[in-house]
Amino acid sequence: MDRCFPFLLLLLMGTHGLCQQEEVCSKSVINSCRDCIRSGPYCVWCKQLNFTKAGEQEAARCDTRAQLIKRGCKLDEIISPKNNLTIVKEDPLSLSFSQQEPVQLRPQKINLRLRPGLSTTFSVSFKRVQGYPVDLYYLMDLSYSMKDDLENVKELGQDLFAALKSITEHGQIGFGAFVDKTVLPYTNTNEKKLQKPCDENYQQCQAAFGYRHVLSMTKSEVEFKSKVTEQSISGNLDSPEGSLDAMMQAAVCGDKIGWRNSSTRLIVLTTDAGFHMAGDGKLAGILEPNDEHCHMKNNLYTKSTEMDYPSVGQLAMQLAKNNIQPIFAVTQNVEIVYKQLQQMIPNSEVGVLSKNSDNVVKLIQDAYHKLSSKVTLTHVNLPANVSVVYTPKCAHAGPAMASEGVCDKVGAGQEISFEVTVTVASCMENTESFTIRPQGIKDTLTVTLSTNCECECEDPKNSNHPHCKGKGRVSCGICSCSEGFVGQFCECSIGDKDEHSLRASCQRNNGTECEGQGDCVCGRCQCHTTESGSSYHGDFCECDDEHCEKSHNKLCGGNGKCNCGKCECFQGYEGSACQCRKSSAGCQTPNNTVCYGRGTCKCDQCECDEGYQRPKCHECLGCPDPCQTKLNCIECLGFDSGPFKKNCGACSKSIYHEMVDQFPITSKQCHQKDTEGCWITFKLEQLVGKDNYKAEILKRRDCPEPPSVTAIIGGSIASVAVIGILLLMLIKLFIYMKDLKEYRKFENEKKKSKWAEADNPLFKNATTTVENPTFTGE
């Protein structure tokens, strides 16, 4: 027993002390009990008369229960609205299914009246009825690639009904088929192809269609087999099908499909292709969004070519609204696509079909057992300022979550429960309601919600109460004064003045009355006391002596006095929190100055002027280069020229200069061009202060020689001459090239000419030859 005592003690501490949430009342502006209750879930109000002292703010009545009792408020004088839970309807859970409506969720109606921020928890029980009816709608893809699967499904009627009977005696099966929208680019719109979209060699082919409802829910195995046997394959162009169109119509056309009110509703979608969704209709010029309504005529979806495909979100919402759970029986090539779709549609399952769908019955059985054994409790229409947390209480419970509670591996007839915690964040003007329901189950719990934000103080009916000097009535412990009187106890008569002008004189810069730290009594502020017992002060109660800067966790470092939010340091101390002794030892420079005259010494450290760097404010990295800013003064002082020539005395005040023949030590030099174009070389050394320099100026300036006029004129003439010669040569070359071109043209034309070789009878030679007849040649 002695060994158990420490353990029991720790257990009690964890239950009643250490593990409990600390109650805190975060007060803001409190003028009444109503303001107090709205400040936080743990704020309560003391209505006890004379609880506050004269001049003490009425907000002192608002605190946690423990604090008010500690300060002397009687327990029966404390106002603290409570949460109220009323169970309106709680029918017992059904043991088994009968022809009457079974009850699987308890309770069915609850009224909650909650205080904002204060949570309340209630229990919800669920038990799935044994033999609960099942409505199974078999929705099949009849595109050409599913022709082998259709032949197998025609023979599966007996197996499907046998599997359904193994689950419940009250099972029904329906059948529907889909392909895609009968417009381009989804389907060939050629008239012959619309009538027979399959391969030419395949004879059993029906006309193209979007979605067709074939058979409403039936218990007849013969009727199911007859209707399915009549079906034949169809076709389309692209790979994705209009499966979302078909599922939407099957969900919203309840009267056509034959869904029962009390049943587990399943849609089994069998396909070997992906799906079109919202936005794909634009490819066919279909811009009207899906309206989520039923458009069935003669068992055909009539708006297939007029409305876009539904979005996944739209489909998920309608499936949940109509308590329908989809089972996607798909081939392996599109398994990943439908696994991703499963994540977006609650209470859905995916199974992999064999090549010819011969395993579809086992697939449906496995998927049904997974869906029925997992119970997910969630909510709809939750108001914006309300939060809900579900904590499952079962053998295979999921974590506590705000969106849903999950229990897995729950058998039929097994009762489980959920702890539901509801919290309202703020006060609500009107009554709100929301619904809690298990996904895929019709049963619901309606929670009607209102808030408790008012104080029920049971005030005395006397309108001239003695506590208020006979000039007002008591409201939750404080005085509500009659017209013409103001003050904590209605002790001030406002006379000729109106109350507004009196209160305005208690406001600084049209702000809060007495800064919220005092009461306006007859036009003057009567300041309240602080939590430590001292008083606010100032004409508008704007000052207190408790909120100055701290050092070493002491107000003003213990070396000063706090006055109206600022530290007044004792002699020998300084700093915003009086944290430093007055000293300039750390600010001394080698030339025995403080911060080189370019800063102030505070807390034994230099606070430098803008641009200068710590620790001693010696250099200014961000300042303009003095070589450029002091150039005009250097030119004036050293060479009596430049823009400051007539007012050189102004420069001598900030620059002490010396002319030198050469610099004794090589160091940084300034080399700048003056107004006469000469290069000046000088050195600057900054003395104590910001604009105080010593300058050493080299006596000799480097002035460039003036240009030679003769050389310039001669060079100009020579340049003109050379350019002229070059132009003449260029013109000559151009003329030569042109003549050469003409000559060649003449030569070519001459070669092409053909002349007769006969002699001209009129032609006479210009030479005459005379021969000597006596000449013998010797």
Give the mean model confidence (pLDDT) for residues 163-170: 86
- Phi-psi category of 446—alpha, beta or left, where left has phi over 0 and alpha has psi -120 to 50? beta
> What pLDDT score does 292 carry?
94
Q: Which DSSP category does 18 fall into?
A: I
Give the mean model confidence (pLDDT) for residues 337-365: 87
Give the mean model confidence (pLDDT) for residues 717-738: 92
The alpha-helical segments, DSSP class H, found in 48-103 are 65-70
Cα angle 273, 279, 280 (rounded to 5 degrees) comes to 40
> What pLDDT score does 532 carry?
73
Class of domain 585-620: mainly beta
Least confident of 58-62, 220-224, 262-266: 58-62
Query: Does residue 697 surpass a pLDDT of 80?
Result: yes
Confidence of residue 172 (pLDDT cuts 50, 70, 90): very high
End-to-end, the C-alpha distance of the chain in Å comes to: 181
> What pLDDT score does 665 carry?
59
Confidence of residue 666 (pLDDT cuts 50, 70, 90): low
Report, at the CATH architecture level, how domain 550-581 is classified. Ribbon (2.10)
For residue range 426-446, what is the model confidence (pLDDT) as tens digits? 888 899 999 999 988 889 999
For residue range 263-285, what is the model confidence (pLDDT) as tens digits? 889 999 999 999 999 999 999 99
> What pLDDT score does 14 carry?
41
Alpha-carbon distance 40 to 126, whole Å? 35
Neighbouring CB atoms inside 10 A of 612's CB total: 21
> What pLDDT score does 387 carry?
93
Helices 157-167 + 360-373 axis angle, to 10:
20
Give the mean model confidence (pLDDT) for residues 197-206: 79
Class of domain 134-373: alpha beta
For residue range 111-148, what is the model confidence (pLDDT) as tens digits? 999 999 899 999 999 998 888 889 999 999 998 888 88
pLDDT, averaged across the chain: 85
Alpha-carbon distance 345 to 343, whole Å? 6
> What pLDDT score does 90 carry?
92
CATH 2.60.40.1510 describes domain 87-130+376-451 = yes
For residue range 480-524, what is the model confidence (pLDDT) as tens digits? 888 877 777 787 777 666 667 777 878 888 778 888 787 777 777
Residue 592 phi, psi dihedral angles, 5° rounding: 60, 40
Give the mean model confidence (pLDDT) for residues 440-469: 88
> What pLDDT score does 450 carry?
93
Least confident of 455-464, 545-554, 756-765: 756-765
Least confident of 326-330, 447-451, 655-659: 655-659
Query: Does residue 16 surpass a pLDDT of 60?
Result: no
Q: Are 741 and 749 in contact (CB under 8 A)?
A: no
For residue range 587-641, what is the model confidence (pLDDT) as tens digits? 888 888 888 888 888 888 888 888 888 888 888 887 888 888 888 888 888 888 8
The residue type of 438 is P
Q: Which DSSP category does 61 fall into?
A: G
Alpha-carbon distance 595 to 609, whole Å? 10
| Identical topology for domains 550-581 and 585-620 | yes
CATH 4.10.1240.30 describes domain 626-698 = yes
Work out the burial of residue 570: count CB atoms within 10 Å of its CB; fewer than 13 is exposed, 13-18 middle, 19 or more buried.
middle
Alpha-carbon distance 497 to 483, whole Å? 12
Give the mean model confidence (pLDDT) for residues 371-397: 92
Provide the β-strand partners of residue 124.
418
Alpha-carbon distance 362 to 366, whole Å? 6
Neighbouring CB atoms inside 10 A of 85's CB total: 14
Give the mean model confidence (pLDDT) for residues 77-84: 91
> Domain segments of the chain: what residues?
87-130+376-451, 134-373, 550-581, 585-620, 626-698
Of residues 769 and 233, more confidence is placed in 233
The sign of the CA dihedral 351, 356, 358, 361 is positive
* Among 472, 386, 465, residue whose Cα is nearest residue 423: 386
Work out the burial of residue 274: count CB atoms within 10 Å of its CB; fewer than 13 is exposed, 13-18 middle, 19 or more buried.
middle
* Among 70, 710, 126, 683, residue whose Cα is nearest residue 377: 126
Least confident of 39-53, 66-80, 483-497: 483-497
